[in-house]
Amino acid sequence: MVKRGVMDLAVSADWTPATGDCKISIDGGAFANTTNLPAIISGTDWGLALTSGETTGKVMSIQIVDSATKAVEDQKLYLTTKGNALAYEPFDTFTAMSGQAVASVSGNVAGSVAVATSISDKTGYSLANPSGFKKNAAFTTYMFPMFNATTGTLQAGLTVTATRSLDAAAFAACANAVAEVAGGFYKINLAAADLNADLVTLLFTASGAKPSIDRILTEP
């Protein structure tokens, strides 16, 4: 966390989080207060404990906005889940690699712990092309913030225009319209045509707001 108006990191004495300062949106849903508040871990390191219910989606968007006289700068975080059939990344690389390493050992370990005897016991795992932004494949509920052009704070109520550049070509309109989520966050369903490039540059503009620019490196 950064102290308001300066470039110094905030310590516990600089900010006391209050209810409403930290909100979460799950898969483009409405923002709601997090169960827990940010807390200092050590020095200038802050942490936020999410509950299991707050990690049930594919993409979680977290906004930290001091609602009182601002002691810290606004922050936003994006989190993705993995290792579950309903997660953003159903494939868990770490678990799969650990499993394959175990599967390469035959027999028993220390005469007591049985392990798989061949790699065939791990059928279904693959390290090739884990999920993410796929080239020429649609991606639903892409979320992004918009900021007021003057104050730099999150800006709600905008009519946002979405365009994209494919591999540094001229910008063209995205296939679908932008929808508002809440609190200055917006979402769009990206069509396959919007992601049909190795490098996709997204440009979101609105009257009275700073342009929002995102770059995506797609996977094959």
Q: What is the pLDDT of residues 157-175, one digit of tens each?
A: 999 999 999 999 999 999 9
Residue 184 has pLDDT above 80, yes or no: yes
What ranges in the chain are assigned the alpha helix state H? 93-103
Mean pLDDT calculated for residue range 185-214 = 94
Position 25 scores a pLDDT of 92
Position 67 scores a pLDDT of 84
Position 120 scores a pLDDT of 35
Q: All domains of the chain, ordered by start, with CATH? A: 1-89 (no CATH), 93-122 (no CATH), 139-217 (2.60.40)
88-91 long-range contacts (CB < 8 A, ≥24 apart) are 88/58, 88/59, 88/131, 89/130, 89/131, 89/132, 90/131, 91/125, 91/126, 91/130, 91/131
Full-model pTM: 0.49
Q: What is the pLDDT of residues 94-150, one digit of tens each?
A: 444 444 444 444 444 444 444 443 333 333 333 344 457 889 999 989 999 999 998
Closest CA to 151 of 73, 40, 34: 73
